[in-house]
């Protein structure tokens, strides 16, 4: 049965509208995370000409820690959102924080699954950036980039599979997700475009607005889009799983 993406997007929007308390709380948490990252850990511009290698390494390290912390908190919130959506669908939802215990339990496995999903693509991007100015090496890196993209798309539903299916180990979840996408890659490519590419593009366009107003607006819109993407991913997984 073909997956009707317009219907999934409409269903996701209806869910957002009908679950006002959940939507407001989830969006507020994501806004708080993004604004905290900006104002508590401001980015430092590095001027390579006036900075020694040791100073540059220190500055990069100081920027890496906040990025990792922000990413971990974001993963935690996303797990909580997915489990709450699951509770809403099953009629057992009472309040936003009811699944914090289950979120803590699933946190480490989801981190590992996310690493499995993004690591090949990250390696490809890293090598691509390193040899991007060298034509011959750039051609050699294309297969690595293509493999990274393929694995990212192939495992793009791995977190939903772990959280929504019957309890299973990390390796069982990876095998299940890999088999689930066999022969059905095209819908996954469309899902990844809608869930990752378009939100990133929209965020970059909004980010062009200057000043504090532009920063706050971009974070508010980005937080809402992030919440919508989680809801859309949940609905897509339900249909894709059938």
Cβ-based neighbours of 44, under 8 Å, separated by 6 or more: 59, 62, 63
Report whether 56 contacts 48 (CB < 8 A): yes
* pLDDT value for 41: 62
Total of domains in the chain: 1
pLDDT band of residue 225 (cuts 50, 70, 90) is: very high
pLDDT confidence bin for 17, thresholds 50/70/90: very high
Domain assignment present for 56: no
Instruction: Kindly state the average pLDDT of the residues 29-53.
Output: 68
Are 87 and 99 a contacting pair, CB within 8 Å?
yes
d(CA 91, CA 150): 36
Band of pLDDT at residue 210, cut at 50, 70 and 90: low
Q: Quote the pLDDT of residue 96.
A: 95
Would 123 be classed as within a structural domain?
yes
User: What average pLDDT does the segment 3-13 reach?
Assistant: 95
pLDDT at 88 > cutoff 90: yes
Specify the pLDDT at position 149. 92
Q: What is the pLDDT of residue 62?
A: 66
Per-position DSSP letters for 147-175, written without gaps between them: HHHHHHHHTTTHHHHHHHSSS--HHHHHH
Among 46-50, 104-108, 228-232, where is mean pLDDT lowest?
46-50
Range of the domain at 204: 61-241
In a domain, 180, yes or no: yes
Q: In the predicted model, what is the mean pLDDT of residues 90-119? A: 95
Residue 18 within a domain: no
| 124 vs 57, more confident | 124
124 token code pair = 């490809």
Is residue 188, in this structure, part of any structural domain at all?
yes
pLDDT tens for 105-149 read 999 999 999 999 999 888 877 766 555 555 555 676 778 888 899
User: How far is Cα 129 from Cα 106, in angstroms, rounded to an integer?
Assistant: 33
* Residue 224 within any structural domain of the chain: yes
Tokens describing residue 103: 């979120």
What is the residue-averaged pLDDT of the chain? 85
The verdict on residue 50 lying in a domain is: no
Considering the domain boundaries, does residue 214 fall inside one?
Answer: yes
């Amino acid at each position: 049965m073909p997956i009707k993406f317009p219907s999934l997007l409409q269903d996701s929007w209806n869910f957002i509208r009908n679950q006002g308390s959940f939507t407001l709380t989830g969006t507020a948490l994501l806004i708080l995370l993004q604004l905290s990252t900006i104002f508590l850990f401001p980015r430092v511009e590095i001027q390579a000409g006036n900075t020694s290698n040791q100073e540059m390494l220190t500055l990069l390290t100081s920027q890496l820690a906040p990025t990792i912390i922000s990413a971990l908190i974001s993963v935690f919130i996303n797990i909580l959102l997915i489990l709450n959506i699951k509770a809403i669908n099953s009629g057992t939802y009472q309040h936003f924080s009811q699944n914090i215990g289950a979120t803590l339990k699933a946190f480490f496995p989801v981190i590992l699954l996310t690493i499995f999903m993004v690591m090949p693509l990250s390696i490809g991007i890293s090598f691509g950036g390193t040899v991007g100015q060298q034509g011959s090496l750039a051609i050699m890196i294309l297969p690595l980039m293509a493999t990274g993209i393929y694995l990212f798309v192939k495992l793009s539903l791995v977190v939903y599979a772990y959280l929504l299916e019957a309890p299973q180990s990390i390796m069982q979840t990876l095998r299940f997700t890999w088999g689930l996408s066999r022969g059905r890659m095209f819908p996954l490519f469309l899902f990844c475009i809608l869930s990752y590419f378009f939100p990133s593009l929209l965020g970059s366009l909004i980010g062009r607005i200057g000043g504090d107003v532009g920063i706050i607006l971009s974070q508010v819109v980005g937080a809402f889009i992030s919440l919508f993407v989680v809801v859309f991913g949940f609905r897509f997984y339900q249909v894709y799983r059938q």
